Amino acid sequence: MSAHIVVLSEEIANQIAAGEVVERPASIVKELIENSIDAQAKNISVEMEKGCGSIRVTDDGTGIDSKDVALVFERHATSKIRKIEDIYQVASFGFRGEAMPSIASVATVELLTKRQGQTEGTRAYVDAGVIKEISPAGCPAGTQITVSNIFANIPARRKFLKKENTEQSLCLDAVTRASLAYPEIRFRASVDDKEVFAVPQSAEIKQRVAAVMGMDFSANCIGVQGERENWKLSGFISHPEFTRSNSKNIYLFVNRRFVRDNSLIHAVLSAYRQIIPPRRYPAGVLFIDLPPQDVDVNVHPAKLEVRFKDARGIYEMVSGTIAQSLAQSSGPKDSFVYRLTPRGESFSAGAPVQPQKYFNKYPPAASRQEISAGLTFGKVVGKIASVSADDEQEKGRINFSGFSYIGQYGGTYLIFSADDGLLLIDQHAAHERIILEKLKKESTQKIASQRLLMPEIISLTPGQITLFAQHIDLLGEIGLDVEIFGKDSLAVKSLPALLSAAGAKEIVLDIADKLQEQNKASSLQEKKEELFASMACRAAIKAKNDLLPQEVNALCNDLENTPFNTTCPHGRPISIKLSLDEIERMFKRK
């Protein structure tokens, strides 16, 4: 490599700039839709072919004047700003002047456009950033942009793309996000001439949210309204009982621009602290509206990140408003304060505080109805010591030889005693590992399935439906029989028999999240095990579930016979052992 400084060619510089804006086909869909929105379109159509080999976005917006068409492909050309101060007050999308030149530099672009009221339109043809033709053309009012041969001149970039269906799913996600923010616009999307997404114009945001997010979310959501100074927060969040396996189902919009902001996500999660299980996340569609000068939207090439003038104030407004909405939506028995108290004991202001009952030796009889999936009942014995450690078992394995069961602490931890110390078991983590290893063992042949009496219909986004369509065979191999049911629903016909007591809806929603996260390079076995881990987490005994001694006995017998029984599928420890020496040192006896 030369040590001399050189000026890059315009071609290389353009491709580097394009890489910041156009990461993948979904970036193209996002940018083109935003241009259509800025053009005041009322109808936007997105068509994809051959995976995402060809993308066409058509709108009925204002169109582009013929004398400005060539400028569309010039870098830093824009109609949105005239002076530097305008950058900090832009209320539209397409002010960066980067999108179209970036797209054109890495693909072939055909543009057809006509201004409203004009008799003739204009066609432009651009290949790898070079304008090949601009000529008069007949076309409807509005703009149609077709992008093909994406990354043809940058083969290294194409290697990093995921499978066609995954890229399609990401493109559909871009359509979904835009449709949530603009209910007044009709959106339509198709793949290989087959319509996969369509929403009509909506008079109210709640109608659009229901159409896009599905009936499951709309039946389990809470309205949010908050205001602070000249900032406003509105939208919908899920009830604490409706959770997902990651935070990707939290849609955040700042002045109707979709953003990914870790601070805002944390603000949402902080409002749910202690009222949803660990490693579970709410869903939501939230809109923050504030003066343009209070937010900088020009800090990220793809405009996915923003910087607030008063980040702390925005955080407090989001967290406080959601916490208040959750509290107001709960009934007297299930109020926000009630959920924060240990073991489900409520209290009122001014009342004397009663000792909390964290420790259960004999759980209430009512908990007999709360037995989770996968437990098999064994003979009740005085000591949980039915299986001793084998000489061939790996070092450090959990075994209960010599331990007696004392009881359950906090509805979550099982406590055992022996002459040389105490053993604590996380019941959820233990059961997760048991179910996972059983599923893995069954998968070496054929996983036994349990057919549902009636298929369960589950609402999903178009992007998720695309991913499920790609993985139908894989799901069948893990004991899940599903069928695409329309454009936005899935019919679940059977579940793995081990999970028959778990909810089909919750399992499918978690699998949808997991499919979006999977790496193209993962082997088939790795993909299966990721899905097994997700299903095991959903079906395992939950924290705060009281267990009868019979259930504890069965759980421990299963755990002793389970490989890798020292950690859960997420790598957390299943047990903690405190030796008598350690305990005595804590009490300063040694």
Q: How far apart are CA 76 and CA 78, in angstroms?
A: 6
Q: Which sign does the torsion angle of CA 494, 498, 501, 505 carry?
A: negative
Statement: residue 193 has pLDDT above 50: yes
C-alpha gyration radius of the chain: 28
Q: Buried b vs exposed e over 479-492: b needs ≥16 C-beta within 10 Å?
A: bbbbeebeebbbbb
Distance CA 189, CA 56 (A): 10
How many angstroms from the chain centroid is the CA of residue 507?
14
Q: How far is CA 140 from CA 40, 137, 150, in A?
A: 15, 10, 26
State the first-to-last Cα distance of the chain, in angstroms, to the nearest integer: 65
Confidence tier at 4 by pLDDT (50, 70, 90): low
Q: Which residue has the higher pLDDT, 175 or 411?
A: 175
CA separation, residue 152 to residues 148, 149, 157, 169, 307 (Å): 9, 5, 9, 21, 35
When mean pLDDT is compared over 119-133, 300-314, 539-553, the highest value belongs to 119-133
Question: What is the location of CATH 3.30.230.10 in the chain?
Answer: 206-338
Residue 88 CB-density burial (10 A; 0-12 exposed, 13-18 middle, 19+ buried): middle
pLDDT at 347: 25
**Domain 206-338 CATH assignment equals 3.30.230.10:** yes
Q: Which long-range contacts (CB under 8 A, 24 or more apart) does 395-401 make?
A: 396/566, 397/565, 397/566, 398/425, 398/559, 398/560, 398/565, 398/566, 398/574, 398/575, 399/560, 400/556, 400/560
> What is the per-residue pLDDT for 282?
94
CATH number, domain 362-590: 3.30.1540.20
Superfamily of chain region 10-199: Histidine kinase-like ATPase, C-terminal domain (3.30.565.10)
More reliable by pLDDT, 363 or 430: 430
The predicted structure's pLDDT at residue 462: 84
**Whether residue 402 has pLDDT greater than 70:** yes
d(CA 227, CA 233): 6
Q: With contact defined as beta carbons under 8 Å apart, do 232 and 288 qualify? A: yes
* Mean pLDDT taken over the chain: 80
Best CA proximity match to 244, nearest among 487, 483, 497, 505: 505
Q: CATH 3.30.1540.20 occupies which residues in the chain?
A: 362-590
pLDDT at 369: 37
Summarize the chain as % helix, strand, coil (round to 5).
Answer: 35, 25, 40
Confidence of residue 151 (pLDDT cuts 50, 70, 90): confident
Q: Sorting pLDDT into bands at 50, 70 and 90, what band is 236? A: very high
Distance CA 494, CA 136 (A): 58
Tokens representing 243? Answer: 């959770």
Q: In this predicted structure, which of 15-19, 59-63, 424-428 has the lowest mean pLDDT?
A: 15-19
pLDDT of 365 strictly over 90: no
**Which residue intervals of 39-149 are DSSP H helices?**
99-105
CA distance 543 to 559: 17
Q: What is the pLDDT of residues 260-285, one digit of tens each?
A: 888 999 999 999 987 887 788 999 99
Residue range(s) of every CATH 3.30.565.10 domain in the chain:
10-199
d(C-alpha 108, C-alpha 143), whole Å = 16
Do residues 550 and 384 lie in contact, with contact meaning Cβ atoms separated by under 8 Å?
no
Burial (CB count within 10 angstroms: exposed 0-12, middle 13-18, buried 19+), residue 423: buried
Does 334 score more than 60 pLDDT?
A: no
* Alpha-carbon span 425 to 523, nearest angstrom: 33
3-state secondary structure 267-333: HHHHHCCCCCCCCCECCEEEEEECCHHHEECCCCCCCCCCEECCHHHHHHHHHHHHHHHHHHHCCCC
